[in-house]
């Protein structure tokens, strides 16, 4: 039986137009979802498609309000018994953040796949059509059921939690750091080698009016702790992008210690692309830090924001980071 797949367009390079044949200097969001689908190989017998354009933005301009709007819409569509899966076309710059957000918020018993492109639709070697075609094919696969949000890019299948953009110009732009891809697509056929590493819960967004503001404080040599003053009175949560295993200077640690009770929840993460940020007595003893585990700062931000829609209890936040 042919599956009903709903495609949501959000803009990005996959929908961009520029000088004919060129891969740079283009305008994102020039084409809507219906126009993108017109350029695909035949899907007869593979999927019955419906589509919508929820917004048309370059993904670096995506707002928290739009992210929430997308998450609520995906939850709504997947609750429809007539729909078997959803595909989201998205800009690549923040695709990894949206993928993890949807992984945490969308029901896992139906397929959900995100994809994009590194080259605009008007390029002579546009990669968007094949990525979108394979994303739709994966969304029809029984193997993808229960996997949470997945990302399809350049024949690879990636978990929404683990995926990360690793190149800003190559078509093979995504990877999953230490853990590798989940599998591959050969034309329209999926071949899985492993499953996601963590559970894919559903944070209910139906009653959420806005996402809590979580900011990332990026540590570097000579970074002043004064930056934390800016976040102290504006943020609902802070993620520290530390060096190494999530380390910060003694100045930063002293500032945080002296302002305990005045600061929002703080997650300690690492700006390094691979590895773990775990509890270390020399760093965490007597400090209000919540280690991010294997989540990089951008994804720790997503999880902290969603947890804060439910609780501000430090222990509950810590348990969420250990679980998800």
Query: Within this chain, do residues 153 and 236 fall inside the same structural domain, yes or no?
Result: no
Q: Please tell me the predicted confidence (pLDDT) of residue 304.
A: 98
Contact 298, 267 (CB under 8 A): no
pLDDT at 122 over 90: no
Query: Within this chain, do residues 148 and 188 fall inside the same structural domain, yes or no?
Result: yes
Q: Which residues contact residue 86 at a Cβ distance below 8 angstroms, ignoring those fewer than 6 apart? A: 5, 6, 7, 8, 74, 77, 78, 106, 110, 111, 112, 113, 139
Q: Please tell me the predicted confidence (pLDDT) of residue 30.
A: 76
Check which CATH number belongs to the domain holding 237 and give it: 3.40.50.40
Is 185 inside any structural domain? yes
Over range 305-309, report the average pLDDT: 98
Q: 263: domain range?
A: 214-323
Is 13 inside any structural domain? yes
Query: Within this chain, do residues 109 and 185 fall inside the same structural domain, yes or no?
Result: yes
Is 201 inside any structural domain? no
Query: Within this chain, do residues 310 and 233 fall inside the same structural domain, yes or no?
Result: yes
Q: Which of residues 159, 192, 225 is at a domain's end? A: 192
pLDDT at 21 over 60: no
Confidence of residue 82 (pLDDT cuts 50, 70, 90): very high
C-alpha 205/C-alpha 309 separation (Å) is 9
Q: Rounded to 5 degrees, what are φ and ψ at 104?
A: -85, -20
Query: Within this chain, do residues 56 and 154 fall inside the same structural domain, yes or no?
Result: yes
Q: Considering its fold, how many domains does the chain have in total?
A: 2
C-alpha 102/C-alpha 122 separation (Å) is 29
pLDDT at 76 over 90: yes
Query: Mean pLDDT, the chain, as a whole number?
Result: 93
What residue has token string 């700006």? 271
Query: Within this chain, do residues 83 and 222 fall inside the same structural domain, yes or no?
Result: no
C-alpha 227/C-alpha 8 separation (Å) is 38
Is 240 inside any structural domain? yes
Q: Please tell me the predicted confidence (pLDDT) of residue 31.
A: 83
pLDDT at 229 over 80: yes
CA 133 remoteness from chain centre = 20
Q: Percent of the chain, pLDDT > 90?
A: 79
**Higher pLDDT pick, 291 / 260:** 291
Over range 260-269, report the average pLDDT: 95
Q: Please tell me the predicted confidence (pLDDT) of residue 24.
A: 59
For residue range 161-220, list pLDDT tens digits in order. Answer: 999 999 999 989 999 988 889 999 998 999 999 999 887 788 999 999 999 999 999 999
Q: Please tell me the predicted confidence (pLDDT) of residue 65.
A: 98
Is 69 inside any structural domain? yes
Q: Please tell me the predicted confidence (pLDDT) of residue 91.
A: 96
Is 208 inside any structural domain? no
Q: Which residues contact residue 226 at a Cβ distance below 8 angstroms, ignoring those fewer than 6 apart? A: none
Query: Within this chain, do residues 132 and 24 fall inside the same structural domain, yes or no?
Result: yes
Is 209 inside any structural domain? no
Over range 16-35, report the average pLDDT: 69
Q: Percent of the chain, pLDDT > 70?
A: 97
Query: Within this chain, do residues 171 and 232 fall inside the same structural domain, yes or no?
Result: no
Over range 146-162, report the average pLDDT: 96
**Higher pLDDT pick, 309 / 19:** 309
pLDDT at 23 over 70: no
pLDDT at 22 over 60: no
Query: Within this chain, do residues 107 and 180 fall inside the same structural domain, yes or no?
Result: yes
Among residues 293, 163, 232, which one has the least CA distance to residue 304?
Answer: 293
Query: Within this chain, do residues 13 and 87 fall inside the same structural domain, yes or no?
Result: yes
Q: Please tell me the predicted confidence (pLDDT) of residue 149.
A: 97
Query: Within this chain, do residues 156 and 246 fall inside the same structural domain, yes or no?
Result: no
Confidence of residue 108 (pLDDT cuts 50, 70, 90): confident
Residue 105: enclosing H or E segment and its boundaries? helix 95-105
Q: Please tell me the predicted confidence (pLDDT) of residue 177.
A: 83
Check which CATH number belongs to the domain holding 179 and give it: 3.40.50.1170
Over range 267-293, report the average pLDDT: 95
Query: Within this chain, do residues 17 and 140 fall inside the same structural domain, yes or no?
Result: yes
pLDDT at 121 over 90: no
Q: Which of residues 160, 192, 224 is at a domain's end? A: 192
**Residues designated as active site:** 13
Among residues 149, 153, 173, 152, which one has the least CA distance to residue 161?
Answer: 149
Is 8 inside any structural domain? yes
């Amino acid at each position: 039986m042919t599956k009903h797949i709903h495609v949501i367009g959000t803009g990005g390079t996959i929908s961009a137009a520029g000088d004919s044949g060129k891969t740079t200097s283009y305008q994102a969001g020039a084409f809507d979802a219906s126009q993108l689908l017109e350029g695909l190989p035949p899907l007869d017998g593979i999927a019955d498609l419906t589509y919508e354009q929820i917004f048309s933005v370059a993904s670096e301009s995506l707002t928290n309000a739009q992210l929430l709007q997308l998450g609520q819409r995906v939850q709504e569509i997947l609750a429809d018994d007539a729909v078997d899966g959803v595909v989201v076309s998205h800009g690549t710059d923040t695709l990894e953040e949206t993928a993890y957000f949807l992984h945490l918020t969308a029901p896992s018993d139906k397929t959900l796949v995100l994809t994009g492109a590194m080259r605009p639709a008007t390029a002579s070697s546009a990669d968007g059509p094949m990525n979108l075609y394979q994303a739709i094919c994966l969304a029809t696969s029984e193997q993808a059921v229960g996997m949470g949000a997945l990302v399809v890019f350049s024949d690879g299948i990636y978990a929404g939690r683990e995926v990360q953009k690793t190149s800003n110009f190559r078509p093979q732009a995504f990877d999953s750091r230490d853990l590798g891809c989940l599998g591959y697509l050969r034309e329209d056929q999926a071949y899985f080698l492993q499953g996601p590493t963590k559970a894919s819960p559903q944070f209910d967004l139906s009653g959420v009016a806005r996402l809590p503001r979580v900011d990332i404080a990026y540590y570097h040599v000579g970074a002043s702790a004064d930056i934390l003053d800016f976040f102290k009175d504006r943020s609902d949560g802070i993620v520290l992008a530390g060096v190494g295993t999530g380390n910060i200077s003694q100045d930063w640690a002293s500032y945080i210690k002296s302002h305990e009770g005045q600061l929002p929840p703080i997650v300690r993460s690492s700006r390094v692309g691979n590895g773990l940020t775990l509890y270390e007595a020399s760093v965490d003893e007597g400090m209000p830090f919540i280690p991010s585990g294997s989540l990089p700062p951008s994804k720790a931000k997503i999880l902290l924001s969603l947890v804060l829609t439910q609780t501000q209890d430090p222990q509950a936040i810590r348990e969420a980071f250990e679980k998800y």
